[in-house]
Amino acid sequence: MSIDDLYDFQQELAHGRYASIYRGKRKRISGNGYARHQYQHHCALKVIDKNEFWGRVYNGRERVDTLVREVAVQATLTSGDFQPFFVHIYGIFETAENFVLELEMLEGIDLFRHVSSRTVLEENEAALIMRDILISLATTRRLGIAHRDVKLANILMCNNCANDISDVSVKLADYGMATFVGVDGLVRGRCGTPGYVAPEIFAAGTNCGYGNKVDLFSAGVIMYVLLCGYEPFYGETDAQLIAANKAAVAEFDEFDWGNISSDARDLVSRLLEINPDERIDAIEALRHPWIVQRAPPSKWMKQNSVRNTSKDDSCVIS
């Protein structure tokens, strides 16, 4: 069978180092094993060029287990009770030339484009988005998973939330850099997007590890951008950007932050804490006054006994 036997490809949505993502439809398979021109469902198709991928592995630019980890992590996250906050994976299909991931198709745009069209967000809208990001990161930490590439472009908006802001607003996507925490509680490997990378990843030596609290730092960068419209770390060259990212000194210019609440600045500062031992974790962040006062619990949170209240000493996710 070929890819075209199972899927009908529509427009290309994105193109990366060794993969392209398309809007598509899954064809219905008849009893004799042939695909009929009747469609089972719409989907997003991530098509990986195996020659490109293995070329990068051969040149030391990609890990040999990348694809296995990506599928395993995404399947783990979308098979349990917390699946509303992660892009679903429906199946995989492999040919001699390609490896295909059949994914949930969301109609909303990614958070980068959303912010670009608005410049900055009102605090209440930003809090709703951060609430769902924090719930997703509380789940990954509980399951022993590190995403390691949390950034605006990897947060997808759910346009079905337009009619009900108490519903799930965003989903975490793109698990190409995700991995499971080792038996020692650490993750290894330097990866991520400069400007969003937790300082402990830069500091980790060849055989040294770090905890999966790294994603909370990246969430702090996202929150900073949502509220002021630009990233906290910058430089005229890649080296300067990385140096600023490693130093993790975020400034709150009065011109841009003067009308933003002190609670918002406090939560951003605690997420961008350079010391991971002192950095706020996802559960604590969900209890922070800025989240509690501005982001009402979603329907799904109520149904699954997920509480974001600073008055309740029990676990936020139960």
Which residues are identified as catalytic?
Answer: 149
User: Residue 187: what are its φ and ψ, rounded to 5°?
Assistant: -115, 145
Q: 255 Cβ partners below 8 Å, 6+ apart?
A: none
Residue with tokens 């991995």: 179
The residue among 208, 167, 166 whose CA lies nearest residue 186 is 208
User: What single-letter amino acid sits at 96?
Assistant: A
**Interatomic CA distance for residues 11 and 285, integer angstroms:** 39
